[in-house]
Amino acid sequence: MAKILFTWEIGRGRGHIAPYINLISGLEKQGQSIYFAARELDSASRLFASTQVTWIQPPQAVSHKASRKNRFSYVEILQGLGYERVEELSS
């Protein structure tokens, strides 16, 4: 049995992770253990209520204030969410 980790650290809506429901259900039927690190655990866990997913809170920058600067790459999006501060996220 494998342990599989899914992550979604930037979205607040459920539309980005909803497509994983069928995949995760299939993996669970094969006996795999599924872990999911998601920014909004409350709404994500309700969406996946029919699964046995173990939820994990990803690191979140506490002192960060998101800027309204346009972000064009994935790295820039993560930086805009506070992921540029290693000292805050390393714990």
Per-residue confidence (pLDDT) for residue 54, from 0 to 100: 95
Q: How confident is the model over 47-53, as a mean pLDDT?
A: 92
Residue 29, pLDDT > 90, answer yes
- Higher-pLDDT residue of 14 and 50 is 50
pTM above 0.75, yes or no: no
Per-residue confidence (pLDDT) for residue 62, from 0 to 100: 62
Integer Cα distance of 42 and 67 in angstroms:
25
In the structure, how many helices (H) and strands (E) does the chain have?
Answer: 4, 3
Residue 29, classified by CB atoms within 10 Å of its CB into exposed (0-12), middle (13-18) or buried (19+), is: exposed
Integer Cα distance of 6 and 37 in angstroms:
6
**Percentage of the chain exceeding pLDDT 90:** 31
Q: Across the chain, what does the average pLDDT equal?
A: 81
